[in-house]
Structure 1
Amino acid sequence: MRYIYSLLLYCLLPFILLRLLWRALAAPAYAKRWAERFGFVPTLSTHKKVVWLHTVSVGEFLAALPLIRRLQADDRVQLVITTTTPTGSERVRATLGDSVFHVYAPYDLPNVLVRFLKRVKPSLYLVMETELWPNTLAACAKRNIPAMLINGRLSEKSARGYARFGALTKPMLQHLSCAAIQNFTDAARFAALGLSDDKVIVTGNIKFDLSLTDDLRTKAATLKSLLSNNGQRLVLIAASTHQGEDEIILDAFAQLRSSSSDESRSAVLVLVPRHPERFERVGQLCVSRGFSVARRSEHSWDNTNDILLGNTMGELMLMFGASDIAFVGGSLVPNGGHNFIEPAAWGLPLLSGEHVFNFAEVARLMTDAGALVQVGSATQLAQAFLQLIDDEAERKRRGVAALTVALDNRGALDKTCAVIQHYLK
């Protein structure tokens, strides 16, 4: 079955390249460094054990950053970090510079992987969450390179998709040496697809193990003072929004502006699209709706502005820290939602849409604690914002609940590192 899959990939290669070219029209960075995707990377020369860590894009890289810092502290280890997207690559370079060996991930094609593995020679392969590729895992198994899934998750929807290709999925999962999975529900889904029970370790979610540095707290306080006019205006954030959500959010914000509440009429919206190629389009949408917009990249905020457009990379945690109430996007449209833990770590009350299947367990924990409310329309979102704006005690209670969940679920990082150390001995 894997050979049929490989043959199909080779047949589809022209279409894959056309898709890459098409994406490059919206995001020009996709047109660069194509050779790396075919395994043409520099040969890595080191006496250390090479650990290859794959993080698809920005979210996975930021989630893995505490783990990366731990691995960097081990003198035995040379880190190789791959990403799939240009935004992920930019974050790796901006955050870690030359302290790691960074290239794009190779395509899941046998000859491409042979070329990549010969040049990098990893001793251990780590892959974040659900980014599993049959030929990659088979190539590692053939060369006795342990392959470990870390922070593994598998939504019900994804499990159904994998099940449709069971003849390919089961052998792929059997090539994993170990799977550190976020919770027992997801572990059961992996097991149902063919992952052996003796390879499963439930570690929790390493995204809970993020830390807020003193420098970040100071910068967030400064930005909040600016946006809030020294505490005179509440700051709302709509983070990681996808196409189709911004209109709903702006409708809700317009309803707040027309309410009878002075606090709602003066509230500030920080709007952060998920993908940089949408920054300008969303900014134009805000202006067309009659709002006064400042762009974060221009540092031009003044108290006449209604909306701060978050059009920079790597500043989402800073913007959460400058906010009072957080809406987490990718959830009003069926994208599966995004990370609730980051705003929770700042003690913010949480709102989202109803499509949170990629973060179902975290959403359940936050909902059960009374920290998260889900909405399905602009009117419901406006009402949810309005309740929190008008009731300071409720705002604080739900923020404390979110922070408590974030703190109570720490510890996955230590468990994951312990498993990795077993393979590095």
Structure 2
Amino acid sequence: MGKIVYRFFLLLYRTAIKLAAPFNSKARLFRDGRQKIWEQAAAVNPSQKPLLWVHCASLGEFEQGRPLIEKYRLEYPEHLILITFFSPSGYEVRKNYSGADAILYLPLDGKKNAQRFIDLIKPTLAFFIKYEFWHYYLRTLNRHKIPVLSISAIFRKDQIYFQPWGGFQRASLRFITHFFVQDRESASLLSEIGLTNVSVSGDTRFDRVFEISREARDLPEIRSFLGEKPAFIIGSAWPADLDVMIPFMNEHDLKYIIAPHEISDRFLAEIESDLEKKCIRHSRWTKAQEGEFDILIIDNVGMLAHLYQYGKFAWVGGAYGQGLHNILEAAVFGLPVFFGNKNYTKFREARDLINLGGAFAVANYVELREHYTRLEIENSYLIVKETNEQYIQSQLGATKEIITYTKELLNHDRSRS
């Protein structure tokens, strides 16, 4: 029964994309990006070199996999690296990433598609990042005795794998060679369904944000804009986040940098119209205007992780909607982190930092103001800053552990051949 439902889901998804593509830009990118997928896949590995296949659902999963990709490249410079994305929001941003030999969309799961794709790319090893347990791909890799590592996986009791009716989905997990999970709860849940090929390695994103903090780009225009005033960085902001932050910005004498989740001209114009203080877009600001504006709106992609180094406080968006964005990019610099109180509990780092006192889930402007007022006391602020920095340090090392296992796995396979 589970297989029938899964096949029906794949058919329904494929049909929905076709119907939506003429009217929805994301669906159109999803469809058009796969039109030449088989020719592209055939060109990935014509010489049949050893190939690492890294699959990411979207951009967030790519950032989790990136430390491993770059470390693997150093360890195995003669190997090819292929990255696949399911979502356009990942592919379109990272399609020109220089750390891989090829970057493709993943063909939709299915028995024929999986067999054809794997026959073409000929992987030696596969990393599936966090989620994305596509049944036919995993089954085909398993049948060809190609090891699959699940990276930075995290599981919750309410997921289908742990329900009485989730037998088909549990079968997919059994094709995984080894799970590297983020926490002990995930390991315990897997153990309950008979999966003990598990290591609690943590989240590779900690390694990634730590690398960024050590190599953060100097942004002279940001330093010039801020001057001597403390800065509040508002990252990945959605309208609901700004509904809370804008009253705060209008009433508190700080400098502010807003990096919206969406940088369409319409959304940027809406932000500008709601602000009482003087604001300017990054693309329009010049050093000659130094001191004239209180708020800088970032109208480009790729700066956010490097902006937090200039902040004293951070708001990270998404938690009032579909899910919290990356708070680690702010926490690694010791910034107290604020976010919405609706949809953050599935993010372990958010729960951890709230418990430690380094992050604050707020319902509205009043709660934000109360937390901020307490942090204005210098001693309280310094305690939070040290707490967040120490938390990041305590979570490092997942990349090293996974690469060590990978080297042992590849050496073992080489010795058998």
Q: TM-score range by the shorter chain?
A: 0.7 to 0.9
What amino acid is aligned across from residue 15 of structure 1 in structure 2?
A
- 1:294–1:336 CA distance, 2 compared to 1 (3 A): same
Tell me if the contact between 1:37 and 1:106 (Cα under 8 Å) persists in the aligned partners.
yes
Cα distance in 2 for partners of 1:40, 1:243 equals 38
Tell me if the contact between 1:272 and 1:310 (Cα under 8 Å) persists in the aligned partners.
yes
- 1:94–1:246 CA distance, 2 compared to 1 (3 A): farther
The residue that corresponds to 2:387 in the other structure is 401
Cα distance in 2 for partners of 1:2, 1:340 equals 37
Q: Deviations over 1:196-238 (max 9, x none)?
A: 11x1111111111123468844515x35422312x1x221112
Q: Deviations over 1:264-314 (max 9, x none)?
A: 22x12222233x4x5434312212213443223445574333332233222
- 1:285–1:216 CA distance, 2 compared to 1 (3 A): farther
- 1:123–1:3 CA distance, 2 compared to 1 (3 A): farther
Tell me if the contact between 2:17 and 2:27 (Cα under 8 Å) persists in the aligned partners.
no
Q: Percent identity?
A: 20
Task: Compute the displacement of 1:142 (Å).
Answer: 2.3
Cα distance in 1 for partners of 2:213, 2:129 equals 28
The residue that corresponds to 2:317 in the other structure is 329
Cα distance in 2 for partners of 1:299, 1:153 equals 42
Q: Show the 5 A alignment for 1:223-234.
A: 223-229=221-227, 231=228, 233-234=229-230
Q: Show the 5 A alignment for 1:166-181.
A: 166-181=166-181
Task: Compute the displacement of 1:31 (Å).
Answer: 6.1
What amino acid is aligned across from residue 386 of structure 2 in structure 1?
V
- 1:302–1:218 CA distance, 2 compared to 1 (3 A): same
Tell me if the contact between 1:239 and 1:271 (Cα under 8 Å) persists in the aligned partners.
yes
Aligned positions, number: 403
Cα distance in 2 for partners of 1:46, 1:59 equals 31
The residue that corresponds to 1:251 in the other structure is 247
The residue that corresponds to 1:115 in the other structure is 116
- 1:379–1:180 CA distance, 2 compared to 1 (3 A): same
The residue that corresponds to 1:147 in the other structure is 148
Farther off after superposition, 84-93 or 31-40:
31-40
What amino acid is aligned across from residue 398 of structure 1 in structure 2?
V
Tell me if the contact between 1:252 and 1:379 (Cα under 8 Å) persists in the aligned partners.
no
Cα distance in 2 for partners of 1:351, 1:268 equals 16
Q: Is 1:241 aligned to residue 243 of structure 2?
A: no
Q: Deviations over 1:82-121 (max 9, x none)?
A: 1223342244344416x42111122112222222212211
The residue that corresponds to 1:261 in the other structure is none
Alignment RMSD: 2.7
What is the aligned counterpart of 1:294 among 280, 300, 304? 280
Q: Show the 5 A alignment for 1:93-242.
A: 93-96=95-98, 99-157=100-158, 159=159, 163=163, 165-192=165-192, 194=193, 196-197=195-196, 199-210=197-208, 211-212=210-211, 216-217=215-216, 219-220=218-219, 222-229=220-227, 231=228, 233-242=229-238
Tell me if the contact between 2:21 and 2:27 (Cα under 8 Å) persists in the aligned partners.
no
The residue that corresponds to 1:315 in the other structure is 303
What is the aligned counterpart of 1:420 among 406, 410, 415? 406
- 1:36–1:310 CA distance, 2 compared to 1 (3 A): farther
Q: Show the 5 A alignment for 1:48-87.
A: 48-73=49-74, 74-87=76-89
Q: Deviations over 1:139-189 (max 9, x none)?
A: 2122222221011112455x2586375022111111111110011012223
Q: Which stretches in structure 2 are left out of the alignment for 5+ residues?
A: 412-417
The residue that corresponds to 2:414 in the other structure is none
